[in-house]
Copies of this chain bind each other. A is one copy, B any other.
Amino acid sequence: MELNRSPFARPFPELPHIDGVKLRVARAGYKTWERADLTFAELAEGTAIAGVFTKSACASSEVEMGREQVRQGRARALIVNAGNSNAFTGYRGREAVEQIVGQVADALGCEGEQVFVSSTGVIGVPLPKDKARSGVEAVLAAEPCGWEAAATAIGTTDTFTKGAGASAMVGETRVELAGFIKGSGMIAPDMATMLGYIFTDAAVEPAFLQAMLAKANAASFSCITVDGDTSTSDTVLLFATGKAGNAPLGSWDDAGADAFYAALLQVCRELAQLVVRDGEGAQKFIEIAVGGAADDASARRIGLCIANSPLVKTAIAGGDANWGRVVMAVGKAGEPADRDKLSIGFGGTWTAKDGQPLADYDEAPVARHLEGQDIRIDVDLGLGDGRAVVWTCDLTHGYISINADYRS
């Protein structure tokens, strides 16, 4: 099936060079498509790694191994296979991953636990070992490539290639960040999302790198949803080569830690929002800001409950300021809420306040706002100080076409 390009598709951005990262792609031929589908990032010795992974109980071997490997804190290589997720493939799937790890570790002369593997695509077909072996051979011999080529090679149903970058001053040293991500469907919150990779030349201790990634993840990848369906393979990895030469960051008290975190959060948010903007069938990008909740966690759960409601998502698709459906979604969230304190707005105009529709609100700006592509929903629970912002897309005929026709 030909996928329609997302209306939010944008050119791939200029991303900074990250010293200590060398990218290559090759064609393993996991699917019949005529394009590179195997991505290899070679990382300088001493590169620190942090990772967040799906909480799925049916995660792939790649995820299971990654969860273990990330604990030792160092990485020399990343391999990403596109076209086959290798999930739900039992011991045969695990053997394929172990083969790749061994092959790359031999080539680089490093420990296997420093070689990270991800796979994305169809569930339930073991990754073919012969294709993986020849693909890895080819990629090890390939010429280095740029960010866009690597970011394109990890895609599957993505309709555009997604990357983001930022920089920060750590002490007197300027450090760079660059990341890329893939994902379009089977996107749900409370986890890392799909496959995302962020690289920086900053020097950061692994434990602190992990703490920063976990915090940024909670305010980015864990705040998006396309369809509420959580992948078995979601992974976000953050690599810090240390080549910028800054005094290594080890805690929030270190000079530059806040600046680095701000840059990291910016990259994470941009990447997360790009996934939503490429959500299957998306015609509108929706930001939902929840305030006045019992606490931040409650606000986020309410926001995601709204974001996952098919009735809210179809209302936005139809350009309908249907705050009744937002009320419904708040009501079903299982979180503290008081109907008579609830207020709801669209595009900055309150349409319902304190549990009642506002009879005299100005419909013109609301209608204009809903005709646009970037939709904002505000919800105030009137209970406490808890707040959160989540992002999603509308639910359209495009989603049905993509998913009722796509064959496993």
Contact = CB atoms under 8 A, between A and B. Distances in A.
Interface of A: 54-59, 87-90, 92, 122-125, 185-186, 188, 227-232, 308-311, 314-315, 317-318, 320-325, 327-340, 342, 352, 354-357, 395-397, 399-401, 403-408
Contact of A88 (B54, B352, B396): B352
A143 to B, nearest CB: 35
Given A185-B311, A327-B87, A357-B88, A400 B404 contact: no
B404 A90 contact: no
Nearest to A60: B339
A301 to B, nearest CB: 12
A230 B356 contact: no
Contacts of A407: 318, 320, 322
Tell me the dominant secondary structure on chain A's binding face: loop
Contacts of A314: 399-400, 403-404
Please tell me how many copies of the chain the complex holds. Answer: 2
A400 B400 CA distance: 8
A356 B92 contact: yes
B400 A331 contact: no
A99 to B, nearest CB: 18
B325 A123 contact: yes
Contacts of A315: 403-404, 408
Nearest to A404: B318
B323 A124 contact: yes
Given A310-B228, A311-B403, A400-B395, A408 B327 contact: no
Contact of A124 (B87, B124, B327): B327
B342 A186 contact: no
A88 B332 contact: no
